[in-house]
């Protein structure tokens, strides 16, 4: 049973570029959340997708957008990259509503030069 998978593992971009990160949830899970983890800090909630809709969002600018597909996989898009967007981006999946435990992927390490 595959867990949460994320791609790519590492990514290097330059300021102003756009990036797309991908996530496949754990089998049986229908909810995907994205978190940003800056170096030496705890993860920060970006947004959550359920039934192909964004249902909750953290304090992130509109440059951060996402999408969920019918197979529950998800993408995180970041436009007009800034140096400060350099971080580990973690995807987490869970089943439906409620405060069930989240299963996390190993993340995508994004470096913006």
Partner 1 sequence: AQKVTQAQTEISVVEKEDVTLDCVYETRDTTYYLFWYKQPPSGELVFLIRRNSFDEQNEISGRYSWNFQKSTSSFNFTITASQVVDSAVYFCALSEWNGGYNKLIFGAGTRLAVHP
Distant-in-sequence, close-in-space partners of 30: CB < 8 Å, separation ≥ 6: 50, 51, 72, 95, 96
- CA 23 – CA 112 distance, rounded (Å): 20
Figure out which of the listed residues 23, 90, 110, 112 binds partner 1, where binding follows CB under 8 A.
Answer: 90
Figure out which of the listed residues 64, 81, 87, 107 binds partner 1, where binding follows CB under 8 A.
Answer: 107
Whose CA is closest to 37, among 93, 106, 100, 94? 106
- Nearest approach in angstroms of CB 55 to partner 1 is 6
Figure out which of the listed residues 8, 97, 111, 113 binds partner 1, where binding follows CB under 8 A.
Answer: 97
Figure out which of the listed residues 56, 77, 83, 113 binds partner 1, where binding follows CB under 8 A.
Answer: 56
Q: How far is CA 96 from CA 18, 19, 50, 62, in A?
A: 30, 28, 8, 25
Figure out which of the listed residues 13, 20, 45, 73 binds partner 1, where binding follows CB under 8 A.
Answer: 45
Q: Which is nearer to partner 1, 55 or 63 (CB)?
A: 55
- Quote the tokens at residue 10: 């590492």
* Interface contacts to partner 1, rule CB under 8 A: 31, 33, 35, 40-45, 48, 55-56, 58, 88, 90, 92, 94, 96-107, 109
């Amino acid at each position: 049973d595959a867990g949460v998978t994320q791609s790519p593992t590492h990514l290097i971009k330059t300021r102003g570029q756009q990036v797309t990160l991908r996530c496949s949830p754990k089998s049986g899970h229908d909810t995907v959340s994205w978190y940003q983890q800056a170096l030496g800090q705890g993860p920060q909630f970006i947004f959550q997708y359920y039934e192909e809709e964004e249902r909750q969002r953290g304090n992130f600018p509109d440059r951060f957008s996402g999408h969920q597909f019918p197979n529950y996989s998800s993408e995180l898009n970041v436009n007009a990259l800034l140096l400060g967007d350099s971080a580990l981006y973690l995807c987490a999946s869970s089943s439906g509503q409620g405060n069930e435990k989240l299963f996390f992927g190993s993340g995508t390490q994004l470096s913006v030069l």
